Amino acid sequence: MKVDPDGPGNRLRGASSPYLLQHARNPVDWWPWCAEAIAEARRRDLPLFVSVGYSTCYWCHVMERETFESSAAAALLNDACVPVKVDREQRPDVDELLMTACQAFTQLTEGRASGGWPLNVFLDPGSLEPFFCGTYFPPEPAFGRPSFGDLVRAVATAWAEDRAGMRDQARRIADVVRRQMGGMASAPAERAGGAAGLASDETAAHVASALVRLSDPSNGGFGGAPKFPTPPYPRFLLEAGGPGAEQVVRRALDGMATGGVFDQVGGGFHRYAVDSSWTVPHFEKMLYDNGLLASLYADAHRRWGDPFHAEVARRTCAYVMREMTGEHGRFLSAQDAEVDAREGGNYVWTPDEARSVLSGAGLGADDVSFAFRLYGLDGAPNFKDPHHPEAPAVHVLRLSARPDALAAAWKVEPRAFAAARARVDAALLAARARRPQPLTDDKTIAAWSGLMAEGLADAGDALGERALVDAAARGARFVLERMRTPDGRLMRCWRGGTAEIPGFLEDHANLANACLAIARATGDAGWRVHARALLDVAERLFRDPASGAWYETEDGAPDLFVRVRSTDDGAMPSGTSSVLRASIMLAEADADVARLDRAEASIDAVAPGLREQPVAASGSVLAARRLAAARARMRG
């Protein structure tokens, strides 16, 4: 990912972000998101074109190849706009703000909210408010979308001939975003019973019932295709219970773990499945998914003692320790979906490839037959790359059922089944290692490191494996020692020896939760000292002392048109629910009534909005229940 210092390039050449460096040789005159880019747009009186993505985003790669590497498209864009590239993993605040704007814009213009990456937005340089938002645009009109060139020309014409209309549109979109991000707090008079109402059995039953209805009764998980793990959903059901909750959680855990979304050979989870049966994944792997899912499977094992859940937690952690851990124990952020422009190139198999590898590794005919039956290689292929229709269909490896069910059905003794599976997996993984590998985004992100450290600590504690807890401690210690300023604030990212970008609420909250998990697993109270310091910094920077509400960003950020906050728990828990969870656990451990009171005020501040959509904020509902339970235990 290094740029040739003598070759062509743009202003991204000095970036540390692997995503920005991927675009450093584009003919587009990219700027990073910075005050200088904003000033340049104002000087030239041109819109800002802000393109947001991340290094392992497949469609980001596609749009770069099709458009941003095109000299003609670059010339058009450079003339009409000041183009800016943003790594959403470095600047989640910019991403959250512009994604909310994109959803508002598409709701207004198309009748339904949509979004995704790459996220491409045109901003008024004066107000920094967005007046047009979209995601992927093809080089020629397709998929019901204009070509990117036609879009840029239309924007340039509108900006030149209807400036007032564009600014009015920007104000309308921005007003929707402001209401969404600013409408969650309430006046004190409206807060009666706020936290208590969210903590009620009635609210928990409502959320649990909604999640049970949303669940897939056939394949497990929530919703249809594409299907995401969304760990906060099974987490809520695991903790809050309710009719049907256990069956929904078990079905989700088993569906993911037997599907292709779980890397059957190498361990760890891919980002999501493109189908409803968890079979064909979108092949990128993200650190945060694996941290959250390691915790979830470990907690399920702790509750039900299911060996399969233990195996999945253990193999997820083993994958991260093998492939996503760098020097000094730091955690890396992601692995790409594609290899040599082929999606899933490292993971898929043809039967001939698998047979050759297994036989070449010295496995006998019985093991080869076992492997083909185990992973469906004796049936029809299940994946044909839609971007390369000339390529043959191939196999994503998945199980047809849980290993214990397969062993029983095939009348194979469980230990013999496990031994044969281990031999097959070792041979296939060794062969995979000789293939071209997906790129790894090797930056360390404080918030994601917190999620992974907590996952390792939870798994190590549940499984009684100290090596996992030690890995959690090394990863957390790296952030504490190398990504923290003298005043105690975390920096968001570290790469190449440099920590950069002041951390956000989720960075401090997630690492505080990790420290508390390590303290539980080791009995070392010193980790609570770290958690306390992180939460104290978070309160100073991100909590509104008047309302008690938590923000993702500091007050008065000059490059955002509204201060960012969110309570939505989806792919990851929100910063609000994470900081509430850490605050309540620490307050109870310290018998700190004042901290518990502040947590209650924070829940009160957002409770009216959460009562309207409690499912989307299930983590904050759990926090309210934990707070009520902590109060009762502290009184008792």
- Residue 360 in any domain: the answer is yes
Confidence band of 469 (pLDDT split at 50, 70, 90): very high
Sign of the Cα torsion 113, 118, 124, 129 reads: positive
Domain boundary among 400, 433, 466: 433
| Region 215-219 average pLDDT | 96
d(CA 47, CA 578): 36
- Residue 633 in any domain: the answer is no
Question: For the segment 224-273, what is each residue's pLDDT rounded down to a tens digit?
Answer: 999 999 999 999 999 999 999 999 999 999 999 999 999 999 999 999 99
Is the entire prediction scored with pTM above 0.75?
yes
| Region 576-583 average pLDDT | 97
- Residue 79 in any domain: the answer is yes
CATH assignment at residue 56: 3.40.30.10
- Residue 28 in any domain: the answer is yes
- Residue 38 in any domain: the answer is yes
| Region 475-494 average pLDDT | 97
Answer yes or no: is pLDDT of 184 > 70.
Answer: no
Confidence band of 419 (pLDDT split at 50, 70, 90): very high
| Region 591-606 average pLDDT | 94
Question: For the segment 104-122, what is each residue's pLDDT rounded down to a tens digit?
Answer: 999 888 888 888 999 999 9
- Residue 137 in any domain: the answer is yes
What is the pLDDT at residue 191?
45
CA dihedral 246→248→253→259, nearest 10 degrees, is: 150
| Region 577-588 average pLDDT | 97
> How many domains does the chain fold into?
2
- List, in order, residues 6 or more apart from 34 with CB less than 8 Å away: 559
| Region 401-427 average pLDDT | 97
Question: For the segment 143-155, what is each residue's pLDDT rounded down to a tens digit?
Answer: 888 999 999 999 9
What is the pLDDT at residue 8?
64
What is the pLDDT at residue 190?
45
Domain boundary among 126, 157, 181: 181
Confidence band of 3 (pLDDT split at 50, 70, 90): very low
d(CA 523, CA 528): 10
Answer yes or no: is pLDDT of 192 > 90.
Answer: no
What is the pLDDT at residue 464?
97
| Region 481-485 average pLDDT | 98
Q: What average pLDDT is seen over the chain?
A: 93
To 10 degrees, what angle do helices 71-80 and 148-161 make?
20
Domain boundary among 162, 181, 200: 181
Confidence band of 635 (pLDDT split at 50, 70, 90): confident
Answer yes or no: is pLDDT of 188 > 50.
Answer: no
What is the pLDDT at residue 144?
80
Confidence band of 385 (pLDDT split at 50, 70, 90): confident
- Residue 388 in any domain: the answer is yes
CB 610 within 8 Å of CB 567: yes
Token pair in block for residue 630:
């902590």
Range of the domain at 57: 11-181
- Residue 600 in any domain: the answer is no
